[in-house]
């Protein structure tokens, strides 16, 4: 499997990932929340196509991060367990950065200096290293909605576009709007193979949710 991601084609990062346990994909329908009928059928087909029900399995992988400018290449080591526990280690010639998220909170450590991640960076973290989690029940928060948007073309594939976000709780319009924005993600599933082609989410500035860019992960060469 090839995995690459970038800031909506502005600062593309290519990562060639060698995945341990690559043959073990994850599956399942959402345990909570709601789905449109057509979205539910697409998720079920995606789950079957991506493999077995091991959403809580541990995975280890490594690769190389290549930046589009003159920045040095970095070695990436990642470890995950389920949809909400992730550890990324970026190692350069003279630097090392560790990024950890666990069940809605996390921290970043660079050259032994540690800082906590803002709430809006970690509250709805999604483990994009394992694409089958995009159609697995393990990644769902209580109250999550799934909507079928339509059919589109992505990376040369005809795909079904699904949008996920938290349902409004009704107590505060402002809070509902913020929760919807933080939790929003888009999953694009190949109409022919039922495999995940792309996932799009927001990446936010540390200071404010108003300053944000689209983050896109693209998957290909499944084996």
- For residue range 102-115, list pLDDT tens digits in order: 988 999 999 889 99
- Residue 152 contacts residue 159 (beta carbons within 8 Å): yes
Owner of token pair 């959402």: 30
**pLDDT score at 13:** 34
Q: Evaluate if residue 8 carries a pLDDT over 80.
A: no
**pLDDT score at 57:** 74
CATH tag, 22-220: 2.50.20
Q: How sure is the predictor about 121, in pLDDT bands with cuts at 50, 70 and 90?
A: confident
**pLDDT score at 55:** 54
**pLDDT score at 53:** 62
37 burial level (CB within 10 Å; 0-12, 13-18, 19+): exposed
Q: Evaluate if residue 34 carries a pLDDT over 70.
A: no
- Residue 111 contacts residue 94 (beta carbons within 8 Å): no
Residues 6+ apart with CB under 8 A from 156: none
Residue of 179, 221, 222, 216 lying closest to 201 (CA atoms) = 216
What whole-number distance in Å separates Cα of residue 56 and Cα of residue 76? 22
Give the residue extent of every domain in the chain: 22-220
Q: Evaluate if residue 54 carries a pLDDT over 70.
A: no
């Amino acid at each position: 499997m090839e995995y690459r991601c970038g800031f909506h084609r502005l600062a593309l990062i290519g990562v060639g990932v060698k995945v341990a346990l690559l043959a073990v994909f994850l599956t399942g329908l959402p345990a909570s929340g709601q789905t449109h009928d057509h979205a539910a059928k697409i998720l079920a087909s995606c789950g079957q196509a991506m493999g077995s029900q091991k959403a809580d399995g541990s995975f280890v992988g490594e690769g190389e991060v290549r930046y589009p400018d003159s920045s040095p290449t970095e070695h990436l080591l990642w470890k995950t367990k389920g949809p909400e526990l992730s550890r990324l280690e970026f190692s350069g010639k003279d630097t090392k950065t560790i990024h950890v998220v666990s069940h809605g909170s996390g921290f970043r450590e660079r050259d032994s200096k540690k800082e906590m991640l803002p709430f809006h960076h970690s509250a709805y973290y999604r483990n994009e290293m394992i694409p089958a989690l995009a159609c697995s029940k393990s990644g769902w928060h209580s109250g999550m909605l799934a909507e079928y948007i339509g059919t589109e073309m992505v990376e040369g594939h005809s795909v079904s576009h699904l949008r996920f976000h938290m349902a409004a709780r009704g107590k505060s319009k402002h809070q509902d709007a913020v929760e919807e924005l933080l939790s929003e993600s888009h999953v694009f599933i190949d109409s022919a193979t039922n495999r995940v082609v792309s996932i799009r989410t927001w990446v936010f500035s540390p200071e404010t949710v108003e300053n944000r860019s689209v983050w896109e992960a693209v998957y290909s060469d499944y084996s």
